[in-house]
Amino acid sequence: MKEKQTPTEFEIHPLIKNRWSPRAFANKPIAEKDIKVLLEAGRWAPSSNNLQPWRIIWGIKGTETYDRIFSCLVDFNQGWVEGAPALMMGAFKKDMKNGEKENFHALHDLGLFMGNVSVQATSMGIAIHQMAGIDFKKAGKEFNFPSNYHVATGIAIGYYGGDPETLPEDLQEEETKVKRERKPQGEFAFNGNFKN
């Protein structure tokens, strides 16, 4: 895995500290068994009322499903994602049981699912890069989702260690940055009232 500098204010677990989202992946295929391990990690994520509203579509490069997921990504993401050995889409059920009311926590639960997947992947030397740039309407139709589901993200999966020069020129600098950045805690966590 390519080392990145993660200047944490407090010591955190290495699986979290060392995780990052590359766009260039090593030229190494992903085994179906490894995809199933990642899905199993996600399966055990917490969810509101244990509804587990996440729905995942996945495909390995060279398969029809991979190509169908790829076709739903926006042009920008299609421009770099071709090197990913596997693709996923993350969707969630928007309503509660029997459709009686909206599940306001479903997107949060999908995020928890992917958080588990992310940590599990890092432990296996696998990287994931989540993408908001997906045509969710096209994806919903392409994969026969009912109207009470929303496709939220695309996910590229591969091994760390890809060659940044395989990427479009405008993305190479971003890929080779060594120091990672995040907002300091004081900008988003308040022991009291919200501050803008």
Residue 58 is encoded by which pair of tokens?
């996945």
Fold of 25-175: NADH Oxidase (3.40.109)
**Residue percentage of the chain with pLDDT more than 90:** 87
Cβ(66)–Cβ(60) below 8 Å: yes
For residue 39, give every residue at least 6 positions away whose Cβ sits within 8 Å of its Cβ, in sequence order, or none: 56, 58, 117
At residue 138, what is the residue type?
Answer: K
**pTM value?**
0.94
Tens digit of each residue's pLDDT (9 = 90 or more) over 36-79: 999 999 999 999 999 999 999 999 999 999 999 999 999 999 99
Neighbours of 148 (CB within 10 A): 12
pLDDT of residue 170: 84
Rounded CA-CA distance 102/96 in Å is 6
The SS3 call for residue 3 is coil
Where do the structural domains in the chain lie, given as residue ranges? Answer: 25-175
